[in-house]
Each structure stands twice: as structure tokens, then as C-alpha cells.
Amino acid sequence: MSNKISEDYLEDRLRVEFMDDARDRLQRMYDALDRLAARKAPDAEVIATLRMDIHNLKGTGAPFGYPAVSLVAHRMEDYLSGLQRLDEGQVGSVQAFLDRVAHLIDRAVQPDISETNQILRALPTRYVFDIKDVEVRNVEIMVVTPSKVVAKKVGTELAACGFRSVTVQDPIESISLALRAPPDMLIAAMMMDGLSGLDLICGLHAMSVTRKVPMALLTSLDLDNHALREVPAGVSVIRLGPKFSEDIARAITKFNLG
């Protein structure tokens, strides 16, 4: 009994320490935005602070019992990717991310899968073009690839269709993210360290939570390559090359996403 009490005490203590640290990091990020507004800090310094603290929260949220915090932090990190300056609208979006994290930390009961999905889909999305030119759809696609170049190419193509995308570089991490917040579609690169895109897709197909998620394999291989013979039935193949846009459009139509 004493061991159980000690374990519970330690778990509670670690959770309190996480919450204290998370609130400190949130305050540091809010303060950084205030310094930017007051022109007391350059954009690069503020963005660096945001990236450092939100990356820490992404890594520590789930282990301490706050998986939704990790998921929101991941989205904010994705939002900040490639940014060199913060305009007024982007500052407002960052504040929305921080407000959501703060709310989750203060919750006594963390959201289930359904509510988590609603929270994630309500988060801001950054587009590289005028959003008025595109019909924005309530469709979220997870792109799993270690290549930033490929991620940008796929993300831009999906955004042009009105879809929001979230990039995950680590295939192992993508399993946890997909299980906690199943996307409307998953696109995985064939070649990745640790776990191939094909193995990832096969694994997710075997799990009840993600079994019905539409999936596509991203590859530079020709369709008649022997390595693609093991692609599960129903999984689309998107080729990097001249057929790229055509293959993505075909997959979207196949899965009735558009």
C-alpha cells in the first residue's frame, strides 16, 4: 500500500511540476508577443522563443497526461515552420494556439478523441496564398515525410484544394498522432528511416481506430515496380514527378474528399 501511495504522490508531483513549467513557458511566449507589439524585440527573436517553448510542450505534454497539449503544440510548431516575420494576423493566430494550450492545461479532465479532433480542426491554418481564392474545406490530411521539400510540395498542393495539412517527420511519432486524432486522410512517403511508408500504412490499417482512414503512398517509383506489389488494396499511390498533381487529384476524388 505504501508503494502505491508513493507512486501516486510522485505522479501527482510530476504533473504539478509539468503544469507549472507549462504555465511559465506560456507566459514567456505571451511576453515575447508583447515585446514584438511594443517593438522591443525583433521578429526573429520572438519566433525563436515561440519555437523553443512550443517544441518543449510538444514533447512533454503527452508523457505527463496531456496528449491534447502535445497535439496543439505540434500544430503550432507546424504553423511557425518557415516563418521569418509575424504580421498582425499571424500574431493573432499564435495567441489562439497559446490560449488553447492554456485552457487544456487548466482542464481537470482532458478531451477524448472526438473532442480533440474538434479542437484541432478549429485551430488557425497558415496559407501561402490569398485564402479568398480557395474554397476552404473541413478536411485534414496528415503528411508523413522527413523531407521538408516534399512536405512543402504536398502541403501547397493540398492547400490549393482547400485542405489543411499537418506534417509529421517521424513515422513512429505519426502513429501516436494518428491514433489520438485520426485525420481524414494520411499520405506517407515510401522511403523513411526507422519505418517505411508502406509499413506505416499496413500497421495503421491493422488498427481499429485508423482502419477506415483513407491512405496514400508517396513515392518516386513507377507503378510497375515490384516494391509496390505489397500496397494494400484501396491505398492510392501518388508519384513524385510529372504525374504528381494528377495522382493527388485522383486520390482526393477516389476518397470523396473534394
What is the reported pLDDT for 128?
Answer: 61
Q: Which of 9, 122, 16, 31 is nearest to 64 (CA)?
A: 16
Which CATH number applies to 131-254: 3.40.50.1220, 3.40.50.300, 3.40.50.2300, 1.10.3720.10? 3.40.50.2300
CA quadruple 69, 75, 77, 83: dihedral, nearest 10: -150
Helix ranges (DSSP H) in the chain:
2-37, 43-60, 67-80, 88-106, 113-121, 148-160, 171-180, 197-205, 244-254
* pTM for this prediction: 0.84
pLDDT of residue 2: 54
CB 247 within 8 A of CB 187: no
Per-residue pLDDT 10s for the chain (258 aa) are: 556 667 777 788 888 999 999 999 999 999 999 999 999 999 999 999 999 999 999 999 999 999 999 999 999 999 999 899 999 999 999 999 999 999 999 998 999 999 999 999 999 988 765 555 667 788 999 999 999 999 999 999 998 888 999 999 999 999 999 999 999 999 999 999 989 999 999 999 999 999 999 999 999 998 889 889 999 999 999 999 899 999 999 999 999 886
d(CA 160, CA 137): 11
CA distance 137 to 125: 12
Domain 2-121 listed as CATH 1.20.120.160: yes
Residue with cell 508502406: 198
145 neighbors 151 (Cβ within 8 angstroms):
yes
Q: What are the b/e assignments for 202-224, b being 16+ CB within 10 Å?
A: eebbeeeebeebbbbbbbebeee
Query: Which pLDDT belongs to residue 131?
Result: 53
Query: Cβ(100)–Cβ(28) under 8 Å?
Result: no
Interatomic CA distance for residues 41 and 35, integer angstroms: 5
**Domain spans of the chain, in order of start:** 2-121, 131-254
Neighbouring residues of 21: CB distance < 8 A, sequence distance ≥ 6: 60
- Give the torsion through C-alpha atoms of 219, 189, 79, 174, to 10 deg: 160
C-alpha cell at 209: 481506430
Q: What is the pLDDT of residue 108?
A: 87
